Amino acid sequence: MSADSGITWVRLETDSLSDRSWRLVEHNLLRSIPMTAGVRFRFVANEDIPGSVVEAGVDDFSIITYQGSGSGIDPIHPDRISSVDLEQNVPNPFNPETTIRFSVPEPGMMTTLKIYDVAGRAVTTLIDRQMVAGTRTVRWNGKDSRGNDVSSGVYFYRLEAGTETRSRKLVLLR
């Protein structure tokens, strides 16, 4: 990324994974360089092993900008104050996976969504990053943070966004 029309460049990411699937990559650009009218991006795919074939792709590249006033006003409905929202997972009970829908009202809010067992122990973290304002969905496949299937039972999911916290109960039936 360059803020001076390509004179100097800041590396946002280096990836050495040999991954055969698409994955989402997000960056808060303001942490890397100042935003100017001459911001440029470039994507470089190369291989350190002589004679090997480079296979890389970039898809759905977008830059999302916002100007937050910190007021919590919904830009689509300015007469209504938005807030953090956490909906009931669907389906519930579930097997093998469920969808959790939530809303974050302010851009750039640090957002964490975790699954807990009935003893209050964290099972897995589904989201732990700054989010763009809006409604999102995330899927949980009934696995813990190590990739192991968790047992049937009652679990809780907890959303922390900014200073607000919401929790709900879900049931896994194996």
CATH number of the CATH domain containing 149: 2.60.40.4070
Edge-first strand order for the sheet with 98-104 is 85-86, 98-104, 134-140
pTM, 2 dp: 0.57
At 70, the pLDDT band (50, 70, 90 cuts) reads: very low
> Which residue has better confidence, 73 or 10?
10
For the segment 94-107, what is each residue's pLDDT rounded down to a tens digit?
A: 999 999 999 888 77
At 87, the pLDDT band (50, 70, 90 cuts) reads: very high
Does some domain include residue 72?
no
Token pair in block for residue 96: 């093998």
Q: How far apart are CA 99 and CA 140, in angstroms?
A: 6
Q: What is the span of the domain harbouring residue 22?
A: 1-63
Regarding whether 162 and 110 lie in a shared domain, the answer is yes
Percent share of the chain, pLDDT over 90: 40
Tell me the average pLDDT across 35-49: 75
Residue 80: what pLDDT?
41
What is the chain's Cα-based Rg?
A: 20
Does some domain include residue 79?
no
Regarding whether 57 and 97 lie in a shared domain, the answer is no
Regarding whether 89 and 49 lie in a shared domain, the answer is no
At 122, the pLDDT band (50, 70, 90 cuts) reads: very high
Note whether 112 and 140 are within 8 A (CB).
Answer: no
Regarding whether 58 and 100 lie in a shared domain, the answer is no
Regarding whether 136 and 95 lie in a shared domain, the answer is yes
Which distant-in-sequence residues (6+ apart) come within 8 Å of 10 by Cβ? 1, 2, 3, 32, 33
Does some domain include residue 71?
no
Tell me the average pLDDT across 57-71: 60
Residue 72: what pLDDT?
45
The CB density around residue 146, as the number of other CB atoms within 10 Å, is 6
Residue 31 sits at φ, ψ, to 5 deg, of: -80, -15
DSSP lists the bridge partners of residue 99 as: 90, 139
Regarding whether 52 and 13 lie in a shared domain, the answer is yes
Q: State how many domains the chain has.
A: 2
